[in-house]
Each structure stands twice: as C-alpha cells, then as structure tokens.
Amino acid sequence: MPELKDFAGSVAVVVSSCDAFFDAWRPFVFFFRKHWGDCPFPIFLIVNRLRVRSNFVKAITVGPDRDWACNMQVALDRITQPYVLYFQEDYFLNAPVDRQQLAADFAYAFERDAASFCFYGRSQLEADFVPLNDRFGVVPASSDGRTRLQVTLWKKKVLASALRPGESAWNMEARASERTRDLLALSYGRRDNVPIPYLMSAISRGLWTQEALLLCRENHVRIRPHFRLEHSDVPWRRRLRRGIGRVRLAFALARERRQVIDLDDPME
C-alpha cells in the first residue's frame, strides 16, 4: 500500500493568499497542524510584504499584490516539486486527514499522469462524468468545471500554463476549463467521503462566515486582529460591514508591517 511519505519529494502544499487576508493565517495553521500535523510535504504560504515566522509553514514573498494569477505564477516558479496541493488561506481543516485514502488517490493520479485531482465533491455531476469507483471519476472534456480551485492536486506545469495575468481565482475557475480540455482531470463525486475534510470557505465576500467563527470558538482559536466582521445575508448590511472591514484592514496592515507575525502561536 502506498504511503504519503512516498510522495514527499514530488508534492508541495501551496496556500494561496495575500496580505489582505492575513487574519486567516493563524487559524489556518492551527487547524492544519491539529488535523494534519504530520504532513510530509513542505507547506508554502503566499504573502505580499508582511513578515511571518513559523516552523511549520514557509512564506513565499511575492511583493506588491497585483492579481491572483501573477501572485500564483511567482510562487510556482519558486517551488521545485512537480506537483502542488492547492489550498486557500480560508480552507480550515475540520477533521483528520485520511492519510491512507489520500496516498491511494495520489498513487492513482501519478500512475495515470493526471493533470489535476480535485478532493472536493462536485455540486452536481455532469451527465457524462465517468465514475472510476465509489469515490472519484473523470471530469468530462466538455465540463466547465475542470479548473476548480478547491483543495486540488495539480501538476505544477499544468496549473502554471492555465494562468493568465490579470485573472482572479474566480476568473480562473470560470474561464480556464478550455485550457485543459485535452488533459485528464479527476474529481471526487460526493462530499461525504473525501480524504481532506475542510470548511470551504471561512471567509465569504470579505466577511467571516458563521461556520468559521463557530469552529474557532469551539477550538478556542482567537482571531487577531479581529477587524473583519461577520457575514450577513442582508445585502445592505453586507456592504456596510465590508466597508468597515476595509477601513479596519488598512489600520491593521499598518501595524503588522512593523512586526513579525508568529504563525505558530497556539492562540489559546
């Protein structure tokens, strides 16, 4: 049976982020360490200019924030491993990683030379989705959901080739499926049997989700600085809270630029 350590030299975890979301970095690291503390892969966090300190993750400083695609390209150029396991800073692990199942999935992807393998169940299966077992299958070439940015194992060169300067992560998901039509894309079909359980997403439209705040409270995780407000389903409240959050973010960034952020702080 394959083990995750068998892929240690070939896979790196890349955590997509930017300084505007630095309040999610400590909770992200906390939950990652709690549920996958023995991860055998190097973990890289994309930052702009803020300085961080950690024995668990390594920052890739990409400079002033241009756009998601440009930040990601700079980061990929600095990662030597041929595969990356893509995360975002607000994907909080909420249960232990199934290491044996994940190792088997990695082995399948490597043996078939898959371009990508999404470890998040699809919201709706396409009519021509091809199940390979009771967990995952082949995403059809005609699908518009081939370049999903949930937790996904990517061949680094495929992800890099799909990037376009100026695009956001949402642009990438909406436009880039055409760029991978001829490549093998795998995906889980359901969300109740995935090997990497996580909250997707902790931040919605710039505001903390109720689920994320509850998860942090249950685990005694203190969000600091807490400049970002809670999400609301009421449009005018959401707009107001985002505006307040942007003002608070500017002050929080000014303070944090004068110091080093300790990501290994237990926060309890």
User: Beta partners for 153?
Assistant: 85, 117
What pLDDT does 124 receive? 81
With 60 as the cut, is the pLDDT of residue 268 above it?
no
Neighbours of 17 (CB within 10 A): 25
At 18-51, the pLDDT tens digits run 999 999 999 999 999 999 999 999 999 999 999 9
CA 60 vs CA 74, 79, 123, 203: distances in Å: 9, 9, 32, 22
What pLDDT does 267 receive? 63
Counting Cβ atoms within 10 Å, is residue 233 exposed (0-12), middle (13-18) or buried (19+)? Answer: exposed
User: Beta partners for 99?
Assistant: none
At 155-198, the pLDDT tens digits run 999 999 999 999 999 999 999 999 999 999 999 999 999 999 99
Helix (H) or strand (E) holding 99: helix 99-111
Residue 205's SS3 state is coil
Q: Which domains does the chain have, with CATH numbers?
A: 4-203 (3.90.550.10)
At 124-166, the pLDDT tens digits run 888 899 999 999 999 999 998 899 899 999 999 999 999 999 9
